Amino acid sequence: MQKQYEWQFFRAGEVDQVVIRTGQDIAHIGELDQKLWVALACPTRGIEFDSATLDLIDESKDGRIRPPELVAACEWAVARVRDPQVLADGGDVLQLNSINDATEEGALLLAEARRVLELAGLPDAQAITLAQVQERMASLQALRFNGDGVVSAATAEGDEALAGLIARIQELYGAVDGSDGVAGIDRSKAEAFWEDVQALQTWFAQAAELGCHLQPRALALAAAEAVNAVQAKVDDFFARTRLVEFDANARAPLNPTEEGYAALGAQVLSNASESLAALPLAAVTGERSLPLVNGVNPAWAAALQTLRDQAVQPVFGEALTALTEVQWDQLKTMLAHCQQWLSECPATPLGAVSEAEIQQLLSSGLKDAVMQLLDHDDAEKEHAVQAMALEKLIRLQRDLLELLNNFVSFSRFYRREGAAFQAGTLFLDGRSCDLTVEVADAAAHSTLAAMAKTYLAYCECKREGQKKTIVAAFTAGDVDFLFVGRNGVFYDRAGNDWDATIVKLIDNPTSIGQAFFSPYKKFLRMIEEQVAKHAAAKNDVVNTSLSDNATKLVTAPKDLAQAPAPARKTDVGTVAAIGVALGSLSAVIVGIFGKFIELGPWIPVAILGLILAISGPSMLIAWLKLRQRSLGPILDASGWAINGRMNINLGLGRSLSQTAKVPVNAKRNIADPYADSHGLRNSLCVLALMAAAALLAWRIHWLDAVLPVSWQHVPAAASAPAVTAPAAAAAESAVR
């Protein structure tokens, strides 16, 4: 049995996560069970990671990194170095002796690295940097032949015919972008062009074999179209002539009658009239000859002229004024072969090309010239491929370990070293939020992110005409003053500051303490709202009454205005009702307070029970939600595929959202000259508390040691016999 690799794990976010810090860890990453991976996919954009490196790993080019692609990148890099530890050491400087030249791939990489250094004027250098490779690739792209397999008109360098041909192929068959950003053609485009040219040459050679001797192709096409336009009417004319030849009595019925012409005379006629076009091409006399110039139907005169010019003249060599039936049959037979030939014309992007042009292209030698350019460029392709592989190796040496610690495990996040998905830090409401994620669509993101059970604030960030949206997690502190429209400042990972404005909130508890005070805050807000509504309503009533009274005073008669107002009567019943209500209310309050005082030593327990009855449900709900608070849905909504639950407990939450604190060694002057004065209120509150405490201590006999007997509290049940005993004795003596 093969011995398994010994992995190390650490516990974070209530998930066991693998420790990846050595080259052997990287080399064996493919052996790690993917059920133990924290993430199973991540986007190549929208995260704080070098997108060029991610693009090199993304073999499918779909904008996402998956475990097979990441494992393949690790295996690729490990196979090209002597010791995989160099991949864990990091850095963008690759030592030449670390390249494994024992393999063919490694030997080619080493040769290319030495070639790059030699071209840079450093033939004796023992290390190569990413900047040197990128500089070489930039210079390679600027060369005439850069190995990208694409040639442009500029590659022809002064050969106008060759440049024009390349431009023509590019226009007809589509352009291919080269690595230097210049559009051109590749080998497939050139080969497709010459294949079509050869196919057209073969097609032109088939014209004589099929019996079509009309050349060029445009002439044959025009002749065929001219015949097709009038074939039905010409066939109809000759059929009528044969019928008259068979029987002369058919002549009159086959020609228009006087009544028919009379009907036409009642219409507004033109050469486009359908009734006129329905008449025969010419008068049917029994002679098998169709006039082409004189004596033809005006509606068909133009079509017959086209037939004469484009078909009759090319076929018979002269412009006939009349066409016999035999000539018509010859014309149709001849053009039938042409139509068959035309139907076999290859469909190519070249369009209408003459046979002479095709022959000129094939004999010009331009084909060999284009292919030579492509061959020369392909000769440099191997250098370009190896240069790209060298860049990939250096990038993986620099970024692979960090990517693994942001994908297979989230050690970068839990060590508070800045994870790839963290966009920056949001400063708002007297605290900083480090758990910020860039999002593309706040509405779509919030649908899934709400499952995180975390208080989330979506902010629109603006800076120098740029815009982006982030979501920030508030995991500690109160949220009383967080609302849509509030502004803050967002610092991205590069240190750039953005204006941030809250556009959407997802409400969830941030702590159990915040949940404890939540019912009381809601109760106070409700009272304030109700008082404000009542005051507003009363104000509206008063204003309406004053307006009505003012109107009455202005419009009232003068004698009524001077009359004294009647004496206002007091409603005795109302006063009595108010007194009874106040008395009942005071009695209830006194009764409740008396029962509360009678609890004696159980008063603290009663107070605690009352507090739990109010705050307990809110605290329980908050506790349940805080246990479910997770990072996963936030990242899943951003395109990640989180495998673990990634809980955000209270300790981690406090580190992700830090409130403002005065430095420990700072000097403070707590005297606020502008603070509100509440001396009288505070004094009354203190006196009330002291009185309540003294009463409570008196009722539970805590003050009996310092008070005289007459001042000590005596329960009512105990004092009753003392009062009634003398009365009973007096009654007994009276009886005696």
Q: What is the DSSP annotation of 340-368?
A: HHHHT----TT-S--HHHHHHHHHSSHHH
Residue 27 parent element (H or E): helix 23-27
Contacts of 284 (CB under 8 A, 6+ apart): 237, 240, 241, 244, 251, 254, 255
Q: Residue 42, SS3? A: strand
More confident site: 735 or 566: 566
448-484 pLDDT per residue, tens: 999 999 999 999 999 999 999 999 999 888 888 899 9
Per-residue pLDDT at 598 exceeds 70: no
Look at residue 591 in the predicted model and tell me its pLDDT.
65
Q: Is the pLDDT of residue 725 over 50?
A: no
> In the prediction, which pLDDT does 558 show?
55
Contact 423, 414 (CB under 8 A): no
Higher pLDDT, 24 or 628: 24
What is the DSSP-derived secondary structure letter of residue 458?
E
Query: How far apart, in whole angstroms, are the C-alpha atoms of residue 415 and residue 400?
Result: 18
The gap between the terminal CA atoms of the chain, to the nearest Å, is: 115
The residue with greater pLDDT, 566 or 130, is 130
616 pLDDT tier (thresholds 50, 70, 90): confident
Low-confidence winner among 28-37, 68-77, 182-191, 537-546 (lowest mean pLDDT): 537-546
Distance CA 26, CA 32 (A): 10
Lowest mean pLDDT among 421-435, 509-523, 586-600, 720-734: 720-734
Across residues 246-262, what is the average pLDDT? 75
User: Confidence class of residue 728 from pLDDT cuts 50, 70 and 90?
Assistant: very low
Neighbours of 227 (CB within 10 A): 24
pLDDT of residue 734: 44
426: left (phi over 0), alpha (psi -120 to 50) or beta: beta
Q: Is the pLDDT of residue 562 over 70?
A: no
pLDDT over 60 (residue 700): yes
For the chain, the residue count is: 736
Q: Is the pLDDT of residue 426 over 90?
A: yes
Q: Among 175, 140, 171, 185, which residue's Cα sits nearest to residue 370?
A: 185
AA identity, residue 618: S
Least confident of 364-373, 434-443, 554-563: 554-563
Cα 500 to the chain's mean position, in Å? 20
Nearest of 181, 458, 215, 257 to residue 342 by alpha carbon: 215
pLDDT, one tens digit per residue, over 308-343 is 887 777 777 777 888 888 888 888 877 777 777 777
Question: Does 588 have pLDDT greater than 70?
Answer: no
What secondary structure does DSSP assign to 616-633, as a single string? HHHHHHHHHHHHH-BSHH
Assign 3-class secondary structure to 259-315: HHHHHHHCCCCCCCCHHHHCCCCECCCCCCEEECCCCECHHHHHHHHHHHHHHHHHH
| pLDDT over 50 at 722, yes or no | no
Whether the CA torsion 470, 475, 477, 480 is positive or negative: it is positive
Q: What is the structure's pLDDT at 718?
A: 46
Alpha-helical runs (H) found in 34-158:
51-57, 67-79, 85-89, 104-119, 130-142
3-state secondary structure of 613: helix
CA distances from 394 to 42, 60, 141, 628 (A): 22, 21, 20, 41
